[in-house]
Amino acid sequence: MKTIYDLIHKKAKLYLDTRQNDIHTQISYNFAKRLLTYYPEADEHIVLPAILLHDVGWKMVPEDKQLDAFGPKLKDKDTQRFHELEGAKIATQVLISLGYNEEKTREISTIIDGHDTRLKALSLNDKLVKDADKLWRFTPTGINIDHSRFDIQRDFYLQWITPMIDAWFFAPEAKDMARESLCEAISEAATHRE
C-alpha cells in the first residue's frame, strides 16, 4: 500500500532530474527518518514531505547557472535563493494537489523557503530538515558526486568538508551521523588510492 510519502515522492520526482537531486533526495530522506527516531516530538508529517520537496526548485534554474549557486564555489546567491522560492511554490502546489493538511503545507513551504540561505532554524522540524539535507554531503556517494562536479581533487574536498560538521549541523545525532559517513567516505577514498 502506498503511503502519502510515496505519493509526494512520485510527484517530486518530476522536478528532481537535475543536479542529481534524485539521488540526493533519497539519501537525505533516509537520514531524516533516522533523525526522527531521536526526536519523537518532531512532526514527521512536516519533516518528511519537506525533505522530499526541498530541492524541487532547482528544476526552474537553467543547468548552466546551477553550479555557481551552491557548494564550495558558491558565487550566485540570487540563484540559490531563487531555487528556494520556486521550491516553496512547487511544494505547495504538490501538497495541495494531494489534499495535504493546509497548516502542515504552510510550515513545509516555510521550511523550504530558506532551507539553504537561512542560517538559523525556525523550529525543530526545520533543524531536522536542514540537517538531513546536509548529511548527504558527507556520504561516499555525496562526496563522489560533489568532488567531481566541483572539479576539486577528492583529498582536498575531504579536507574542506571535514571541519564543516560542527559549523553546519544542529542536532548532535546529525553530527555523529556526519562523522560516521565521513569515515566511510575516507575509507572508500583510501581503497581507491590502493
Question: What domains lie within the chain, and their CATH numbers?
Answer: 4-193 (1.10.3210.10)
What pLDDT is recorded for position 66? 85
Residue in this structure with the C-alpha cell 531555487, named with its chain if needed = 83
Q: At what angle do helices 4-12 and 44-53 cross, to 10 degrees?
A: 20
What pLDDT is recorded for position 1? 59
What pLDDT is recorded for position 193? 57
What pLDDT is recorded for position 74? 80
What pLDDT is recorded for position 189? 72
What pLDDT is recorded for position 49? 98
Closest alpha carbon to 34 in 187, 186, 164, 176: 176
What pLDDT is recorded for position 71? 82
Closest alpha carbon to 189 in 150, 146, 151, 158: 158
Go through 126-156 and write b for each residue having 16 or more CB atoms within 10 A of its CB, e for each that does not. bbbbbbbbbbbbbbebbbbbbbeeeebebee
Residues of the chain predicted below pLDDT 50: none
